Amino acid sequence: MLNPRRMIGPLAFCTLTAGLGGCATMNGLSDKFDIASRSYNRALRWDDMDTAVAFLPPESVPGFLAERETTEDVIKIVDYDRVRVQVDQKHAQGFVRVMLQWHYDDSLTVETCMIDQIWQYHSGDWTLVEEWQIKGSPLFFFADYDEEDPEAPHPYLPGLESFRETRMIGLSDAEKRKKIREAKRSARKSAEDAATDERAAQVPLARENTSFDTPVMSQAR
């Protein structure tokens, strides 16, 4: 399975390169990945966020748009080049390394940066699950990959392992049914515990029979 924290050698994948077909272009899965990764990066290039978000997990869209809004009128991407594209056929995962050229809106100086993207094929579509800037001039709406903390979560994308786990990708039908049963039991127990706590909070404290304001002799009578 593709490791999102390091580059995988080309022997593990069918590789797509500009102008060269190879084994990947003969496979429908790889053809779909080629189209998806081109479409997403082209959408970034032309600031077409409606198209870009179609390749993200739904839960990641608000964070993605919030990051873009901060630099919407400040930074312009002028070109992109997918310098490395690989597909893990066995696990239906893809890797793209993209070279971006960009400049500030008030400057003609073109900067470059390198972005690594990790994709997962699920339910008939390719989905972007990780995206890190690994080198070059900081392009602020991309998260920097921290070599000192490689397990740090992405600001809004779920990460490969988390995406696979929550979608139960790679599990057999029996394993999926088991996880669903466990999730239902856990949810039921949480609901029961919450109901118990709520009932306990509603029970009024028992009043003390003895008032601290009543003299001892009066209590005796």
pLDDT per position as a tens digit, 126-149: 999 999 999 998 888 899 988 888
Query: How much is the pLDDT for 58?
Result: 97
Query: Rounded CA gap, 65 and 189, in Å?
Result: 36
What strands lie across the sheet with 125-136, from one edge to the other?
14-16, 75-88, 93-104, 111-122, 125-136, 143-144
Query: How much is the pLDDT for 124?
Result: 94
Query: How much is the pLDDT for 177?
Result: 86
> Which pair of structure tokens corresponds to residue 144?
């920097």
Q: Which among 136, 145, 112, 128 has a CA at the least distance from the CA of 5?
A: 145
Query: How much is the pLDDT for 184?
Result: 87
pTM of the predicted protein model: 0.74
Q: Which residues of the chain have pLDDT under 50?
A: 4-13, 17-26, 206, 208, 210, 212, 214, 216-221
